[in-house]
Structure 1
Amino acid sequence: MSRLIHALAALAVLGLAAGCTSAPDIDEASVAGAASGKADLAPASPFWVDPESPAAQQIETWQEEGRTRDAELLRRIADRPAALWPAGENDPTVPVTEAATAARREGRTALFAAYNIPHRDCGQHSAGGAADADAYRTWIEKFAAALGKAKALVVLEPDAVAHIVDGCTPGIHHGEREALLGEAIDRLKRQPGTKVYLDAGNPAWIRDPQKLGQLVQRLYRAGIARADGFALNVSNFQTDEVTKEYGLRLSADLGGKHFVIDTSRNGNGPLPGEWCNPPDRALGTPPTFDTGEPALDAYVWVKRPGESDGTCEGGPNAGQWWPEYALELARNAKE
């Protein structure tokens, strides 16, 4: 039995309950929870919460170091669900299976980001991806199979379509990429509990009406009609209001397709001119299916708060845990 399953079993025996608070004051129950060194599992959340997330582990470390106040603030991240991004260079079977199994046991939905398309990120901080089309097909097959019958929400390939539209991805790769995305949608949708949202960038990226029309065309070519919808604002900071308005416009152009919004770090909105580890940002709306908008299926945390965008503003490599940045996001959170 994996460490993950052991942890879940232990927490179930202990009967830990959620203690996430939006107020700056710390009550006795919250302090007791932080002192335990374990993140709560947010029973009210419809999404599965990883009890071994970097934030949960950081709480333990800071408690041992006497940073009780900081540990408690970090529970605003550790107690809430964020997407799992299986490493592209590795077989995704084990982490996806463990998360899906744990989520199914609890009757919750597991969140994932599938991020391994060839020629990913155009040579920027997260450059890489599968070596070629066949390697990607193998990877997505393993990813999908590992989901089993669990309820899962998969955000498919952040930036992949938008990078075609903005010209970042060379034209020689466009046809292959669209074909691979369509195949990935079809394979993932064979899993009975899986919903797939193809990434469509963010409102600050593709704004020109002509480019927006191209985005719609490219999304269709990539199989959006067979997906459950599209995802917006992944790893970005655009506000809920701006992103929802953009999403509704895009939805209308896509025949009413639904969408989800990444709210992991948009609590203070964007910092003009800065997308990589901008300072003074905040956690956004906690993950929920309760959005008040029929076409907006969920607010989700796709980017894991506290993981670096890249080596900018003093951050570590993209995807690596940065505890002080996580603490700033939590400290600035409005709820």
Structure 2
Amino acid sequence: MNPTDAELIANQTARVRRYFNVFPRDFFFLGRIAEGETSIVFSVVERSDNPNIRKPRHFVVKRSWREEVSHIEDDIKLDNEIEVVQRMRGAPHIAQPVHLNPNALNKLSRPYLVVEFVENGTLKEFYDRVIGEEMPLPNRVLRGFFFCPYPDRKIPEYPPFTPEQPLPLEEIPDEDDGGNYPRAQWVHGNMTMDNIYDAEDPEKKDIGVKTNIYDIGRIMRILMTLDDEWDPAPGDVTVEIDGVQRTFATAAASLHPASEWPNLDPDLITIVLCCQAVDVDNRPSLEQLMHALNQQAAIKNDTWYRKQKFPTWRTERTKDINLMINELIYYP
């Protein structure tokens, strides 16, 4: 009788736990936190009493859980994923691979991926902290959020949840009476090589499709206005773009006119107005969007905002931005 999927997952969990228990002074196995169609993810932390470690690292281990022989393609996929993650080491927005020394997994017969555990919460939690602190975001921070969804010019889809639903967090769930850990249901689901695009350049160069441009415009509108209405009624606006007056309908009409938002950069407002334009032809392409943002980022520092007499120019200083980011994101 063939083992069930649950039994295979339990076997792999026990196997990884056993290997980490070989080094009880260095690692503490926290348990299984998620599993997908082909892989399972565990949480491990380095013990704080190790004199060679200044600060304990919290990391996750991913490995295939199906039978070695019948599902060897799973291991091949994970090997490829490990190679990709190693090549992207140091890149922004990417969980960093972790090097273990001593390595509790070096005798395992199957490949495994070890990456850092990142727990900064969700964008909704960040928004709530900003509201709670009554702290409007500096333009340089807002511009940074614009850049965040576009590493390597790829546009992520918004998670499949409505705005009213709480997003599941990447955390270790409590065990039940039997000592079993339920599935964590991570937002990103089962990360496999099938989700990585690796091919020739497509004929259509604008990978940032206009629907995703609209979505990031929505997020930026919410962060700029601190009003989380998801789909406000569109309104007509008239703005100057490349020296030409243009009138169009946009869901970000609450940002117009810019004079009503003295702390916000009018050029940044114009970008958001265009991103949320009702007519897709009025939305920028990804190339146009990145060009405009790069131009702004190159010249608009705190000195620029001070000379333009922005009332909140002091919040644009790098030291103040670092303090804000620490308080709202890294160490809330």
- Give your verdict on TM over 0.5: no
